[in-house]
Amino acid sequence: MTYSYDMFGGRRSHAGQSGGVVVSPAELQKMQQIVQELGARLDQEVTQNQDLQAALERQAKDLHHKTQELEIKDEALRKQSEHQKELEAELVFVRAALAEAQEKLATVAQEATWQERFLRQQAEMDNLRKRWEQRAQAETAENRRRILADMLPLADHLDLALQHQPQIDDVQVRNFIGNIEATRRAFLETLRRYGVERIDPVNEPFDPTRHEAIGHTPSAETPVDHVATVVQAGYVEGDRVLRPARVLVSSGPAA
């Protein structure tokens, strides 16, 4: 009987070409071991292929993202380039407008120089006019006060006339005294219309800014350092004293 060996190392019988394959247990175990090794290697290659495919997919996604980023950057650069061209065109117009404005500014500066000189001259004239007006007002006010002060002795004469009127029951004398009183009232009313008020500070505290003390006198009715007697009335114009009242100051009751 003749035998042949297959690829797995088994023997085949060639007796009449009709016999079955005879495999020994050792050969069968070896065949199973080879099959297991081939299966493990296949599984390993499948796993490697899956990992490789996953890596390729990740790289494809990254490439897609990079491509999108590049497209966005290209679009931004294109817009930036267009905007830069617009800015350059605007810059040309701005430079031209600036040159024209500088020329106009130089012309206006020359005109402004003459205008400033005119305004300066006008301001000086206004200041001079104001100074003259202030001086004229001050002189007018001073002359007015002098005139009013010169009129005050008339009131003093009328006061003295009434203080020393004779005690006579005569109709003509009474009429004369009545005329003096009427004249005095009219004169004081005229002074009030011009803002002049009479100072008659009897029994008031002595005020050196409004009163002029010419002496002291004992008085039981008037407190100490108060005006006991008005020798000559004073007059004020607003807050300014035209003439202080001449007074006697009380020194208290006589000892």
pLDDT one-digit tens code per residue, 110-155: 776 777 888 888 888 889 889 999 998 888 888 888 888 888 888 8
Domain boundaries, given as residue ranges, for the chain: 32-137, 197-255
The pLDDT value recorded for residue 236 is: 92
Q: Indicate if the pLDDT at residue 74 is higher than 90.
A: no
Instruction: Measure the CA–CA gap between 78 and 75, rounded to whole angstroms.
Output: 5
pLDDT one-digit tens code per residue, 177-233: 888 889 989 999 988 898 899 988 999 999 999 999 999 999 888 899 999 999 999
pTM of the model: 0.46
Q: If residue 178 lies in a helix (H) or strand (E), which one and from where to where?
A: helix 171-193
Q: Are 211 and 234 in contact (CB under 8 A)?
A: yes
Tell me what the pLDDT averaged over the chain comes to: 82
Backbone angles phi, psi at 93, to 5 degrees: -65, -40
Q: If residue 133 lies in a helix (H) or strand (E), which one and from where to where?
A: helix 25-163
Q: Which of 9, 38, 41, 35 is nearest to 22 (CA)?
A: 9
The architecture (CATH level 2) of 197-255 comes to Roll (2.30)
Please give the DSSP secondary-structure letter assigned to residue 229.
Answer: E
Give the pLDDT band of residue 83 (cuts 50, 70, 90): confident
The pLDDT value recorded for residue 145 is: 83
Q: C-alpha distances in angstroms, 19 versus 11, 16, 28, 56?
A: 11, 7, 19, 54
